[in-house]
Amino acid sequence: MVSLETFYENVRVLTDNTESSIKVKKQLDKVVIRLPDEEQFDMVGSIYIGQRDLMQKFLVKSSIVLRTGDPRNVSVKDGNNFYEICEVLEDSTYVITLVTDDLVGKSDDYIMGLIAYKFSEWSRLWRKMTEIPNWDSLENSERIAMVNKLSHFKFPLGTKEREEYERSVDEEINRLGFSKEVAAYDLKL
């Protein structure tokens, strides 16, 4: 299992210090200590916890910096994530945002499910990336195509590709041991 100390040496967590974000941070700690001791959870990352307007501004700014798409199309959900996949895979990073506005009155399992879902998306992508045997010899355009092929950003809801993506994330959720919490998240409990 991942130790909180080691995790927070590599992951920067910023909150807006509201009551809701403090509650989410406590649930984050509970999720982290249950994560397996695997490379993707020892990597550099950032987690931002706060209200929707703050997360919207952050995501728009990030979409410009990381060139992840048209900033006018940025949509803030309860949880968002994006990645910077580098030529040297071990230098890659992830960012998770957790929006607190709609979490008032939600169960701890719901919040943990949201957090676990975002970690499962990252873990799934990381594991798939490390399975690419010739990553080092790929051109940048080929690497970008591989990341796009594995990432949910390019799969519209209702498509076969999106269903396959969701199924593989569900498998990762089960592997990580968060089925109960993600079920609460899916059911909006």
Q: What is the pLDDT of residue 154?
A: 67
10 Å CB burial of residue 175 (0-12, 13-18, 19+) is: middle
CATH domain 4-186 topology: Collagenase (Catalytic Domain) (3.40.390)
Q: What does pTM read for this prediction?
A: 0.88
Q: How far apart are CA 152 and CA 25, in angstroms?
A: 25
Using one digit for the tens of pLDDT, what is the confidence trace for 127-161?
Answer: 998 998 888 888 888 888 888 788 766 677 788 88
Q: What is the pLDDT of residue 66?
A: 52
Low-confidence residues in the chain, pLDDT < 50: 70-74
Going by C-alpha positions, the residue among 37, 7, 40 that lies closest to residue 25 is: 7
Q: Where are the domains of the chain?
A: 4-186
Q: What is the DSSP string of 97-166?
A: EEE-GGGTT--HHHHHHHHHHHHHHHHHHHHHHHT-TTGGGS-HHHHHHHHHHHSGGG--TTSHHHHHHH
Q: What is the pLDDT of residue 122?
A: 94
Using one digit for the tens of pLDDT, what is the confidence trace for 162-180?
Answer: 888 889 999 999 999 999 9
